[in-house]
């Protein structure tokens, strides 16, 4: 089929949600539509629109849905990975319908993926998108997911935080906090609401602190150690993969020095570079309570 570049992106996103629901129904796959037009109108900031469609799939039904997407003209763009090295979604593209992210877990939720889906599925509802009823989490679940997403880029998502949290009632905030505790998502939620310092003793703290500082491009031991500590318990193989990646950083350090210096580094320079990596990572590699800095 020929691509239709003139089709407005918001319309493509709406049609993508409706189409994916039809494919999921055909494949007997449980999906929850998240973000964008699937969100309750009260949680959508005015003028806010999505560039792609997002769904959360029951992990056991992943292959059913992906097979259905292939049958209906979708093409896989990326595998199950993310920029954080923790596998959580796979990206797909359709010439007429645009981009689709299929999530098997959502960043910030530490509960095992299957259990987390069960919790969100338990109080599911429906939202009509492009004339088709699409299955969505409860309004509380939608609120939490929006806030977890916003925590990854606080400045860019300030409007989402205002709509989902600042204007929420005490009862709505309490329900969101309770759901976050059930999904083990308190730390990421606290990052979005400005309460991250309450969780300095949690393994996920270092990673969400990086997001809060807008330092997600940080490389070296600090980023790697934060990823390792934040990896959910059901991702033990990911921890090994990240450990292998960390070892690669050590191996590549002399190569990077050579490129930066435009010559072969001396032993002293290599030792200094390794020392810098160790200093960056020593407080994060070891699982311990971060040291509080005295306020001036």
Give residue 240's pLDDT band: very low, low, confident or very high (50, 70, 90).
low
> Quick check: 250 pLDDT over 80?
no
Lowest mean pLDDT among 65-74, 135-144, 156-165, 250-259: 250-259
Look up the domain containing 66 and give its range. Answer: 9-211
Residues 192 and 251 in one domain: no
d(CA 16, CA 10): 10
Give residue 264's pLDDT band: very low, low, confident or very high (50, 70, 90).
confident
| Span 28-47, pLDDT tens digits | 999 999 999 999 999 988 77
Residues 103 and 226 in one domain: no
d(CA 54, CA 289): 35
68 within a domain of the structure (yes/no) = yes
Residues 146 and 236 in one domain: no
| Span 83-125, pLDDT tens digits | 445 568 899 999 999 999 999 999 999 999 999 999 999 999 9
Give residue 80's pLDDT band: very low, low, confident or very high (50, 70, 90).
confident
What pLDDT, on a 0 to 100 scale, did the predictor assign at position 289?
Answer: 39
| Span 159-200, pLDDT tens digits | 999 999 999 999 999 999 999 999 999 999 999 999 999 999
User: Domains in the chain: how many in total?
Assistant: 2
Residues 203 and 244 in one domain: no
4 within a domain of the structure (yes/no) = no
> Quick check: 144 pLDDT over 90?
yes
| Alpha carbon separation from 217 to 70, 103, 222, 258 (Å, rounded) | 33, 22, 11, 22
Residues 200 and 252 in one domain: no
- Residue 263, judged by CB atoms within 10 A of its CB (0-12, 13-18, 19+), counts as exposed
Residues 150 and 226 in one domain: no
158 within a domain of the structure (yes/no) = yes
Residues 63 and 166 in one domain: yes
Look at residues 156, 185, 211 and tell me which one is the last residue of a structural domain. 211
CATH of residue 38's domain is: 3.30.460.40
Give residue 242's pLDDT band: very low, low, confident or very high (50, 70, 90).
low
Residues 115 and 133 in one domain: yes
> Quick check: 51 pLDDT over 70?
yes
Residues 34 and 162 in one domain: yes
Residues 170 and 274 in one domain: no
**Six-digit token pair at 159?**
């409007």
d(CA 55, CA 97): 14
Residues 85 and 130 in one domain: yes
**Report field, pTM of the whole predicted structure over 0.85:** no
Mean pLDDT for the stretch of residues 223-249: 61
Mean pLDDT for the stretch of residues 14-22: 97
């Amino acid at each position: 089929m020929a691509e239709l570049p003139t089709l407005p992106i918001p319309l493509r996103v709406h049609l993508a949600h409706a189409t994916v629901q039809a494919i999921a129904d055909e494949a007997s796959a449980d999906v929850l539509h998240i973000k964008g037009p699937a969100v309750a109108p009260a949680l959508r900031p005015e003028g806010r629109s999505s560039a792609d469609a997002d769904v959360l799939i029951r992990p056991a039904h992943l292959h059913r849905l992906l097979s259905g997407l292939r049958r209906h003209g979708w093409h896989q763009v990326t595998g199950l990975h993310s920029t954080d090295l923790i596998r959580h979604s796979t990206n797909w593209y359709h010439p007429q319908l645009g981009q689709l992210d299929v999530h098997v877990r959502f960043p910030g939720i530490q509960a095992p993926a299957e259990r987390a889906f069960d919790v969100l599925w338990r109080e599911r509802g429906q939202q009509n998108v492009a004339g088709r009823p699409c299955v969505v989490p409860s309004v509380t679940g939608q609120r939490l997911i929006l806030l977890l997403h916003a925590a990854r880029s606080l400045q860019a998502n300030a409007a989402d935080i205002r709509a989902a949290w600042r204007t929420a009632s005490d009862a709505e905030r309490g329900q969101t906090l309770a759901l976050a505790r059930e999904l083990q998502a308190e730390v990421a939620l606290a990052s979005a609401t400005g309460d991250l310092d309450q969780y300095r003793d949690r393994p996920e703290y270092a990673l969400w602190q990086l997001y809060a500082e807008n330092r997600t491009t940080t490389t070296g031991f600090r980023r790697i150690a934060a990823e390792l500590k934040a990896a959910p318990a059901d991702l033990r193989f990911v921890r090994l993969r990240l450990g292998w990646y960390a070892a690669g950083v050590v191996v590549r350090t002399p190569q990077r020095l050579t490129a930066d210096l435009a010559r072969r580094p001396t032993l002293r320079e290599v030792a200094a570079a390794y020392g810098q990596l160790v200093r960056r990572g020593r407080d994060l590699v070891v699982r311990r309570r971060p040291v509080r800095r005295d306020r001036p």
